[in-house]
Structures are given as structure tokens and as C-alpha cells.
Amino acid sequence: MNLRNVAIIAHVDHGKTTLVDRLLQQSGTFRENQKVAERAMDSNDLERERGITILAKAASVQWKDTRVNIVDTPGHADFGGEVERILNMVDGALVLVDAAEGPLPQTKFVVSKALKVGLKPIVVINKVDRPDARPTEVINEVFDLFAALDASEEQLDFPILYGSAKQGWMAESPEGPKDKGMEPLFDLILRHVAPPQVEEGPFRMIGTILEANPYLGRIITGRISSGILKPNQQVKVLNADGKLVEQGRITKILAFRGLERTPLDEAEAGDIVAIAGLTKGTVADTFCDPTVEVPLPAQPIDPPTVSMSFIVNNSPLAGTEGDKVTSRMIRDRLLREAEGNVALRVVEADDKDSMEVSGRGELQLAILIETMRREGFELSVSRPRVVLQKDEATGATMEPIEEVVIDVDEEHSGVVVQKMSERKAELIEMKPSGGNRLRLVFYAPTRGLIGYQGELLTDTRGTAIMNRLFHGYAPYKGEIQGRRNGVLISNEQGEAVAYAMFKLEDRGPMMIEPGWKVYRGMIVGEHTRDNDLEINVLKGKQLTNIRTTSKDEAVRLTPPIKMTLEKALAYIEDDELVEVTPKSIRLRKKHLDPNERKRAEKSKEAVA
């Protein structure tokens, strides 16, 4: 059968997963009366809640006499590791661009990777039904982007389609015709994307996506480069250096048919399949016939830029809400995650009670923590830190720099530029982006961006959109001022009392509610001044037997600051931790005892 392998790449929220929905529906993959969830490819709970794609996934549709394998990829730069690997197993890419927003940083990042691999892209201008759509200008921006990324003549001669994935149509002009549905896109894929290149020789395949299945064990998805694979065939696994990882037998071969997987009796070169039966082979390894000695070349992956310590929860409330609390359980879970996610690096600390986890950004690490707490884990995590490097030639300290694109209303641009310059960012470009909005481009140190998202939304009344992308390493930019306010710390253990909290309101806003469990050293609020203050939130009203005519004043508390996981990670300082359990997110000091805190501070000052 004729085959085509295509990846759909775009910036977050430009409509990739919705486009895949329409392709599946209009190719006759589903029955007429079949009930299908919206964004069918986003199968994970967190993906559905947040409306973002986190894991790359494959599906397959049949159009006329050709099978088209489609890979849906994430749009967030934090999950870029997923996209970099996927490009090895496809022969074409649909570059999806929003008709109003134009190409954004993640579009640039993914397109540069696709062009390097030599893919010939198809550009799809999506959302032309938006009232602020400007398709002609966006096409010019896409062409400039391709030229800036050193695209070849062939790649610059890309075909263009316009349409709306939500309304379910594509056409060669923004006006339509709209009655053909997705047919023009299918026909263009068959014409423009080359059939898979098949090499001569025995079976070889590079692993691209890894997942665990409760029945089949480890499942590795990839594209077969050469040869034929059958169930029960003996294979071996080589890593990137050519060393043998393991030998074993393939128990099952699964091919994608629509969203489902169906077992195959034989898989041919060029097809994207999932194989089960091996216990150690992982992503970027070569799965091959026992006679093969040389592994297939794999794409190098960009390095992680942000790291965090995952520490065993040692607070007085440890073990009361979660069932997975030991260091061994946390360690095994993190190592399992690092196997399937090549953009993560996990290293055990010397004290054996904590693990150092490095990734692409706070969002990637926050998603990992959120997934773990839903599985029943309890742990403490430190503030995100950037991964510094030493320049071998000069010995200077280098830090990661990100390209930041902020779309903002003109009236708020002044405060954004001021806040970004405080965070040691350089303004590279400022241009109008339509509708009284400006597009600001900065090069900013990753350190300065930790925790800035919330502040940006407050400064711009929720109208700004920030997108970030790793740019490179540059010399260390010096000290950046962190949080300006101190915190309110509980000095006793028990349940918070409304009367005590009411009396303490002038000290600063609270982060807890009456009846919540607190302990010594736990952060319960934000101080109005720049120093930390210990307070007692357990103190009840002294009751006497003297009757008075004055009624008790009704205790009306100001609503507390609600701390989400991302907000908490951005808020804490270096001497604080976030305690994460399946039911709660608490902030605490690293040293719960006040005397230990003072000692740690003195020793820090002595070192400085």
C-alpha cells in the first residue's frame, strides 16, 4: 500500500490537535454515529484540563488508496524534546500558522529543526475565520522566517493552503471554496510529501516514543528504516555509541489504524509501528536484526536549562495524605520518567534523600510534579535554578538566555519594558502587530523569567501573551533582585483559627483558610514588609463568664491568596520549599526550626 508519514508542527494554540480531529473525521475513520471526544489525540487528563498537548502521539488515516500516518506534536517549547525526535520518523511536515498571530517562537524552533532534517514543509494558514485575520501578511512573515533559517530553494517553494480547522475546510485561497472540506489538504499531502525512503538491508528502526502499558510492558514507537519485522523475531538494541543494550524477542507489533492500534503479522520498511517485548531499549536507541553492527544516527537533543531538587517530604504532616512517600519510590518514578523523556536529566544527590531533576523549563517540571501528585506521591521541591556552564576557553560562567516574544497592548508596553530591563533583558525588536498591539522581542536570562508570567498578567490586566524559546548560553549577567516581600511563618502546630487570622490581617495577606492544618516553619501568608515574621495563627479568643451587651464582632476574613503549583514554584525563595501532596500544596521554610534558620543565614553571610 502507498504510505505517507507527516508531522503537524506549530506554536501552542494554533490548532494542531483540532486539525487532526477533522482529518480523522473526514477520512471516514469514525462511524457516522460514533461519539468522539473533542481533541481526540489529547488523551491525558492534564492535556484535556489545560488544553495543551504534552506528549507526541501518532494516528493513521486512509485517503483513496494511500495510508497517511499523522504525528501530533506539542507546541510548548518546554516539550520541544518530543518534537525533535519525531522529525526523524516523518517525510513531510505541515507547518500550521495562526492567521492573526503569525509565526511565533515555537514555530521558529520547530521549523528550524525540520529544515535541518531536510523536510519539505507544507504551510497551512489556520483560523482565517478570525475577525483580526491577516493571511497575506502572515504568509510574508513565514517566507521571511524560512529565509532567515537558511531554507534551500526547494524548501522556500512551499505550497500554501488557507482554512479553518474548527469549521473543517481548507482551500487555496482565504475566501474558499469551503464545500470541499479537508480534501485539498489530503490531496496536497499525497502530491507534495515523498513516500518513505526505504533502505536496503535487514530490519532497523530508531526508537522515538516510549510508553508503558499494563498488559504489554514497554512499548516503543518508531519508523522502520529497512527490512521486515514479524512477531517472535529475535532483535537486538544498540545505543547511540553502538554498544549492545539488550537482546530479545518481539512479542507484538502494533500499527496505527485511526486512533486505535491493531496487531500486525508483518511490518514493512517505511511504516510507523509500535513494538512490545523488550525491557531496556529506550528512546534514540536502534532496534535491529542481530546481524546489524552500526546504529542509525539520532538527532542531538538540546540541553536542559532549569533544574530542581525533588526531596523526600520531611514535614510534620508527612505521610498523612499520600501513599508514596519514600525516597526509593520517588527515585524509581523519576528514573522511569527520564527513560521516556530525553529532555529530562535525573541525578541522585549525595545525601540520597533528594534527586536533582533538570529540564527545559518550569512548565515541564511542574507538569511532572502534578502527574506525580495525582499518582499519590508526596514530596518537597525546591525553587527552580538555572543550569550554569563554564566556558572552556575563558573560564567564564555562562547562563542560559531565552528569546522572549511578548504581544501587548500599546498602553502597557512601558511597564513591560521596564520590568524586563530590571530582569537584565535586552530589547531586540519592537514592532506593531495589528489592533493597537505591539510585539516586543527580548533576549533575557532564564533566571529573570522564573516567576514573571503572573506579574506580567497583573501589569497588563491579563492582555499580554508571552512566548519563550531557548536561545543559547551567554556570560553571566549579574545579580537579579527576587521577591521584595518577606513571609509570615507559623510558630506552632495545629489548626488555624479564624479569630487569630482576623487579628493578624494588617500584617499581610494570608495563604491559608481557617481550619487548615499548619506546623512550625510553614509559610501561612505574605508579610507587608521585606523581612520574615513568625506569627501564631492558633490563638483563640479568651472566653470569660462576664456577660457584655456588646455583640461579638463578626469575623470577616479577606479571601486568601490561592497558590497553584506553578505560582508556588515561582513564589518561593532559595531557603524555601513547596510541599506537594495529592490533596494540598503548602509552602514552608527549608529549616523548620527558627534557630536552625538563623544559623543557616549566618553561615550564608559568612560565605558571602
Are the beta carbons of 457 and 96 closer than 8 angstroms? no
Are the beta carbons of 590 and 575 closer than 8 angstroms? yes
Query: What ranges make up the beta strands (E) of 433-532?
Result: 437-445, 465-475, 487-490, 494-495, 517-518, 522-526
Q: Cell digits for 196?
A: 518513505
Angle at 509 between CA 519 and CA 463, to 5 degrees: 125
Angle at 86 between CA 387 and CA 112, to 5 degrees: 65
Are the beta carbons of 431 and 438 closer than 8 angstroms? yes
DSSP string, 210-254: EEEETTTEEEEEEEEEESEE-TT-EEEEE-TTS-EEEEEE--EEE
Query: Does 15 carry a binding-site annotation?
Result: yes
DSSP string, 382-432: ---EE--EE-TTT--EEEEEEEEEEEEEGGGHHHHHHHHHHTT-EEEEEEE
Angle at 100 between CA 98 and CA 104, to 5 degrees: 55
3-class state of residue 446 by DSSP: helix
Angle at 93 between CA 87 and CA 94, to 5 degrees: 140
Which among 14, 24, 184 has a CA at the least distance from the CA of 111? 14
Q: Is 22 exposed, middle or buried (0-12, 13-18, 19+ CB in 10 A)?
A: buried
Q: Cell digits for 544?
A: 470569660
| Number of CB atoms found within 10 A of residue 158's CB | 17
3-class state of residue 207 by DSSP: strand
Amino acid (1-letter code) at residue 15: G
Q: How far apart are CA 245 and CA 268, in angstroms?
A: 24
Query: Does 126 carry a binding-site annotation?
Result: yes
381 DSSP β-pair partners: 310, 578
Query: Does 549 carry a binding-site annotation?
Result: no
Query: Does 53 carry a binding-site annotation?
Result: no
For 533-582, give the secondary structure using H, E and C: EEECCCCCCCCCCCCCCCCCCCCCCCCCCCCCHHHHHHHCCCCEEEEECC
Q: Cell digits for 468?
A: 519563550
DSSP string, 290-317: TT--SPPP-PPPPPP-EEEEEEE--STT
Query: Does 16 carry a binding-site annotation?
Result: yes
Who contacts 506 (Cβ-Cβ below 8 Å, separation ≥6)?
528
The DSSP secondary-structure symbol of 195 reads P
Q: How far apart are CA 24 and CA 30, in angstroms?
A: 7
Query: Does 14 carry a binding-site annotation?
Result: yes
Query: Does 187 carry a binding-site annotation?
Result: no
Query: Does 312 carry a binding-site annotation?
Result: no
List the binding residues: 13-18, 126-129
List the binding residues for GTP: 13-18, 126-129
